[in-house]
Amino acid sequence: MYAPRIHTLIFLAMKKSIYSTELSLSDRLVLFYNALTDNFVVAKRKEGESMEELRKKYVQSLIDGGFFVEDSVDESEVLQSRLRTVLNDKRAFHLTINPTLECNFSCWYCYEEKKKGTIMSEDTIMRLFLFIRKSFKDFDLLKVSFFGGEPFLAFERIILPTIKNVARFARLYDKAYEISFTTNGSLLTDSWISALKEFNICGFQITLDGDKDCHDRVRFFNNRAGSYKTIVQNICKLLQARICVILRINYTPESIASINSVVTDILSMTTKEMRSLLTINLQQVWQTRSTDLTTEIKRIVKQIGTYNINVEEPVFNYINSPCYADLRHSAVINYNGDVYKCTAVDFLNVRRDGYLSSDGVICWENNSNERRLEKRMNPSTICTDCRIQPLCNGGCSQSTLKIRNDSSCPLNLNNEQKDRIVLERFSQALRTNNLFKAL
């Protein structure tokens, strides 16, 4: 009978977490969120009840969720310790390979410059194979992702031999591997899909730009024929082959209304079992992000959810899902043996971060790998006082590396925008049943 008072005394001796947010969901509901623990509590509030009274009423849930911590706890150090553990993870190496920078499309928003003849040479391939073998000696898991350009322009010459060697070395050293692809999906053939089924293919990311009318205005073959029908058919073939697909739908203010038509087309060509392997990822084209389409996207996400299709929006969650480029043990090997940390660059017009030596070793230049890690471990000073730092940690390191002024938010977020980010995390948690506690 004395437990509530004991809890209250404990509560009064603690301090509020610097990573906590409190938001009113309605007149009767208050959302508590802690970005460090990624925990939520939804509390019922009586009429006239103060926030202090509400906190005391839910004291045990708030303590359990990390919303209040002992005075001796240095939460900033807890966060940094967790970051060091995640970013220095020695179990896996994340390898991205650009077999070529050539592409059979010329999308208007693409940040990469295309150039004929940019295909991996035999010498670079041999260096790559040496690196892959060394990686299996040092790591338990090798995650290999093919990027580009359009990687399937080099399927038989580079992709298939590389995958075969990955599988061979994995068997030799009794280690694990995963293969994934980022592709426009237009060049896949039945025989290639059949060949890939022999390996541990964890997924494809394939992009559409809206429904047939919208997409075919952006992505078309050299003869000006549209690619929508071909790509959708290939997505369905991959699903039929039990290969997971992330369908990224790029949208603009003009094409956003066509997203439901894409989903309808997919529904008409797939079974429930096939759709269990499909995730739809919605991304606003970066050149149009000055237009706020949040309301429209939330309506579309809700609609897609009624079809029992997994749908994702871009959601901040840096601690649990850091960018691959920020991991110590990650690299992008370009067609010519140059090495980068990030794929979101114009490989023909930016300085490389290193190179792949003749004996299959990555040689980092200008301390590039360490500099990026240092930036992630020690973001802008204003970030260390931010309640959502565990979610964004200063944003994309590719961008923050260029920022010298650390007196303002690297993402220029105000409190209202931070609240919106918290609500987006809450919405995602509800969709994935990852809610800490709803009361």
Q: How far apart are CA 28 and CA 49, in angstroms?
A: 10
pLDDT tens digits for 313-330? 777 788 878 889 999 999
CB 309 within 8 A of CB 268: no
Residue 409: pLDDT band by 50, 70, 90 thresholds?
A: confident
Q: How far apart are CA 302 and CA 230, in angstroms?
A: 28
Confidence check: pLDDT of 284 > 80? yes
Confidence check: pLDDT of 405 > 70? no
Query: Where are the extended beta strands (E) located within 35-187?
Result: 39-44, 68-70, 92-97, 141-146, 176-183
Residue 325 carries which side chain, given as an amino acid letter? A
Residue 435: pLDDT band by 50, 70, 90 thresholds?
A: very low
State residue 312's pLDDT score.
79
As beta bridge partners, residue 420 has none
* DSSP output for 368-402: HHHHHHHHHHS--GGGGG-TTHHHHTTS-HHHHTT
Which residues are CB-neighbours of 244 under 8 A, at least 6 positions away?
202, 203, 204, 277, 278, 279
Helix (H, G, I), strand (E, B) or coil at 228: helix
State residue 384's pLDDT score.
84
Longest dimension (CA), the chain: 80
Residue 2: pLDDT band by 50, 70, 90 thresholds?
A: very low
> Mean of the pLDDT values across residues 236-259?
96
Run of H or E residues at 204: strand 201-208
Could you tell me how many helices (H) and strands (E) the chain has, helices first? 16, 17
Q: Which of 128-142, 191-205, 367-381 has the lowest mean pLDDT?
A: 367-381
Mean pLDDT is highest, among 4-18, 44-58, 396-410, for: 44-58
pLDDT tens digits for 62-84? 999 999 999 999 999 999 999 99
Which residues are CB-neighbours of 301 under 8 A, at least 6 positions away?
282, 311, 313
Residue 380: pLDDT band by 50, 70, 90 thresholds?
A: confident
Matching residue, tokens 């060394």: 134
More confident residue, 391 or 10: 391
pLDDT tens digits for 132-164? 999 999 999 999 999 999 999 999 999 999 999
Helix (H, G, I), strand (E, B) or coil at 33: strand
Angle between helices 160-173 and 122-138 (to 10 degrees): 30
Give the angle 314-417-80 at the CA atoms, nearest 5°.
70
Confidence check: pLDDT of 300 > 70? yes
Confidence check: pLDDT of 22 > 90? yes
Return the number of other C-beta atoms located less than 10 Å from residue 408's C-beta: 11
- Token representation of residue 435: 């809610």
Confidence check: pLDDT of 434 > 60? no
Residue 437: pLDDT band by 50, 70, 90 thresholds?
A: very low
State residue 12's pLDDT score.
61
Whole-number average pLDDT of the chain:
90
Q: How far apart are CA 205 and CA 228, in angstroms?
A: 15
As beta bridge partners, residue 68 has 16
- Token representation of residue 168: 């061979």
Q: What is the pTM of this model?
A: 0.90
State residue 404's pLDDT score.
59
CA 222 to centroid of chain Cα atoms = 32
- For residue 153, give the nearest of 201, 197, 120, 131 by alpha carbon: 120
Matching residue, tokens 């940690």: 393
State residue 256's pLDDT score.
95
> Mean of the pLDDT values across residues 361-384?
87
State residue 105's pLDDT score.
87
